[in-house]
């Protein structure tokens, strides 16, 4: 787990977008960590459902140079200074005209915002509001050395086969420039999860695992255009991973249905943590929008730590926000879910009607108000729901208990041959 923060720091300087060399470099980095990843390409102009793959964008440099020679909004100092997908431009203009193309976040005057325009060709720069106010009067040379041309949208996927064709699904995105939590925490967590599954369950896993790294929105739509039928048939539980690297409270966005195995497992895994925030599907924001769209309707939740935080989509989203401890905490939650799914079962009572616990010395000899212990009540409730149709996660949810406690009691009752 100690390597997750290193991976994020290695990738932080790269200028990523929904297409281009930055995304390729990022996918290549993760393929070295997990060689099972395969790259898929979708060419410019290809129709994917109601969308079309855009031109590929790459950028070498950009800056504003005042007539005095002083430069502002230098791409090589921060790739957030450029509006993503800016078309190339070399021009000279006065300050009044230039200001129309400068974006700021007025409610956060010291922060540089993250701004994009993927589907309408334009250009622009981003500054903090305070930097904008200090721009001197005069003429400016405007330089954006970029190109927009036919190319490919690229993404990676890996499928780890298990005993069953039923799948557990993990998705995250690789399309933002230098932001630590909103961009890199999700992909590094996904790669750590993949390594864990391979180390503990490969060749003996109950389920098949599908992992994908995509450009947000257009990438998930492109992927679904190719694999939606098999995903709809096989995926029983899945998570979109985003903003999982800080040390603030955990949160998740429920699936559209709100009662899937993903909903039940994430809710149970977060029992006992303070200030857990559950967002309804109406508050969705990332690729869960696509995975739960009409006609797709996968059992997917979005898992985060802070879904909403002040540094989001600004240059303040850095390694003051993302920490190793934050990443490890998120990994432990996902690990708990995977272990629960892999060891989970549908318990069945070995006897018809209620078993006689007294003859097994599991029930008090004397019957009196108040002498049913808490643990005995849990065992009796577990037996009552052990119908072979309800899994342990679902029973844990019904009983409002952490899965790990119920698993322990299931193992005990199984050892007594009360359950199987």
| Same domain? 220 vs 303 | yes
- Domain ends where: 342, 375, 407? 342
State the residue range of the domain holding 300: 4-54+152-342
DSSP 175-198: --SS-IIIIIIHHHHHHHHHHHHH
| Same domain? 184 vs 91 | no
The DSSP call for residue 86 is P
Q: Per the domain annotation, does 347 fall within a domain?
A: no
| Same domain? 126 vs 196 | no
pLDDT tens column, 336-355: 999 989 887 788 888 888 78
Residue 166, Cβ density class (10 Å: 0-12 exposed, 13-18 middle, ≥19 buried): middle
Give the Cα separation of 317 and 106 in Å (integer): 17
Name the residue with tokens 């009540």: 377
Give the Cα separation of 86 and 120 in Å (integer): 9
The pLDDT confidence band at residue 2, using thresholds 50, 70 and 90, is: low
Q: Per the domain annotation, does 14 fall within a domain?
A: yes
Give yes or no for residue 119 having a pLDDT over 50: yes
| Same domain? 32 vs 73 | no
| Same domain? 337 vs 199 | yes
The pLDDT confidence band at residue 374, using thresholds 50, 70 and 90, is: confident
| Same domain? 189 vs 227 | yes
| Same domain? 62 vs 118 | yes
Q: Per the domain annotation, does 330 fall within a domain?
A: yes
State the pLDDT at residue 1. 47
- Start-end of H helices in 209-323: 218-234, 261-269, 288-291
Q: Per the domain annotation, does 265 fall within a domain?
A: yes
Mean pLDDT across the stretch 271-287? 93
The residues, any chain, with a CB within 8 Å of residue 102's CB and separated by 6 or more, are 73, 124, 125, 126, 127, 132
pLDDT tens column, 187-215: 999 999 999 999 998 778 999 999 999 99
Q: Per the domain annotation, does 349 fall within a domain?
A: no
The pLDDT confidence band at residue 361, using thresholds 50, 70 and 90, is: confident
- In 3D, which of 321, 320, 290, 319 has the Cα closest to residue 304? 321
| Same domain? 144 vs 157 | no
Percent of the chain clearing pLDDT 90 (strictly above): 78
| Secondary structure string (H, E, C) spanning 125-150 | EECCHHHHHCCCCCEEEEEEEEEEEC
Cα–Cα–Cα angle for 342, 247, 334, rounded to 5 degrees: 10
Bridge partners of 170, per DSSP, are 211, 239
pLDDT tens column, 211-259: 999 999 999 999 999 999 999 999 999 999 999 999 999 999 999 999 9
Instruction: Please count the structural domains in the chain.
Output: 3
Give the Cα separation of 397 and 390 in Å (integer): 11
| Same domain? 135 vs 79 | yes
Q: Per the domain annotation, does 420 fall within a domain?
A: no
Q: Per the domain annotation, does 89 fall within a domain?
A: yes
Predicted structure pTM score = 0.90
- Domain ends where: 103, 129, 149? 149
pLDDT tens column, 121-180: 999 999 999 999 999 999 999 999 999 999 999 999 999 999 999 999 999 999 999 999
Q: Per the domain annotation, does 351 fall within a domain?
A: no
- Domain ends where: 314, 342, 370? 342
pLDDT tens column, 16-68: 999 999 999 999 999 999 999 999 999 999 999 999 999 999 999 999 999 99
Assign residue 232 the CATH number of its domain.
3.40.630.10
Phi, psi of 207 (to 5 degrees): -115, 160
| Same domain? 179 vs 33 | yes
Mean pLDDT of the chain, nearest integer: 94
């Amino acid at each position: 787990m100690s390597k997750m923060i290193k991976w994020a720091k290695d990738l932080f300087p790269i200028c990523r977008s929904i297409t281009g060399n930055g995304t390729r470099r990022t996918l290549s980095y993760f393929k070295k960590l997990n060689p099972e990843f395969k790259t898929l390409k979708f060419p410019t102009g290809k129709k994917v459902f109601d969308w079309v793959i855009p031109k590929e964008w790459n950028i070498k440099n950009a800056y504003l140079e005042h007539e005095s020679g002083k430069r502002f909004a230098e791409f090589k100092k921060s790739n957030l200074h450029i509006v993503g997908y800016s078309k190339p431009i070399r021009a000279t203009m006065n300050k009044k005209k230039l200001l129309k193309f400068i974006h700021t976040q007025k409610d956060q005057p010291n922060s540089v915002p993250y701004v994009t325009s993927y589907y309408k060709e334009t250009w622009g720069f981003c500054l903090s509001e305070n930097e904008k106010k200090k721009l001197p009067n005069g003429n400016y040379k405007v330089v954006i050395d970029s190109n927009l041309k036919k190319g490919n949208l690229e993404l990676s996927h890996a499928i780890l086969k298990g005993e069953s064709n039923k799948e557990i699904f993990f998705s995250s995105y690789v399309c933002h420039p230098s932001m630590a939590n909103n961009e890199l925490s999700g992909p590094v967590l996904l790669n750590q999860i993949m390594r864990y599954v391979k180390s503990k369950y490969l060749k003996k896993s109950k389920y098949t695992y599908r992992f994908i790294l995509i450009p947000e929105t257009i990438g998930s739509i492109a992927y679904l255009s190719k694999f939606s039928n098999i995903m709809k048939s096989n995926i029983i539980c899945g998570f979109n991973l985003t903003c999982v690297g800080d040390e603030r409270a955990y949160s998740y966005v429920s699936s559209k249905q709100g009662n899937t195995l993903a909903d039940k497992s994430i809710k149970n895994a977060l029992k006992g943590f303070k200030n857990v925030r559950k967002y309804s599907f109406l508050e969705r924001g990332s690729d869960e929008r696509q995975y739960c769209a009409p006609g797709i309707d996968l059992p997917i939740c979005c898992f985060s730590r802070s879904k909403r935080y002040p540094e989001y989509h600004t240059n303040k989203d850095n390694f003051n926000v993302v920490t190793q401890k934050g990443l490890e905490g998120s990994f432990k939650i996902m690990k708990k879910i995977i272990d629960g799914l892999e060891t989970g079962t549908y318990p069945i009572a070995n006897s018809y009607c209620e078993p006689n616990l007294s003859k097994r010395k599991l029930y008090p000899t004397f019957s009196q108000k108040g002498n049913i212990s808490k643990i005995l009540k849990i065992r009796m409730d577990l037996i009552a729901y052990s119908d072979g149709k309800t899994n342990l996660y679902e029973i844990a949810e019904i009983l409002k208990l952490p899965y790990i406690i119920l698993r322990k009691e299931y193992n005990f009752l199984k050892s007594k041959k009360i359950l199987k």
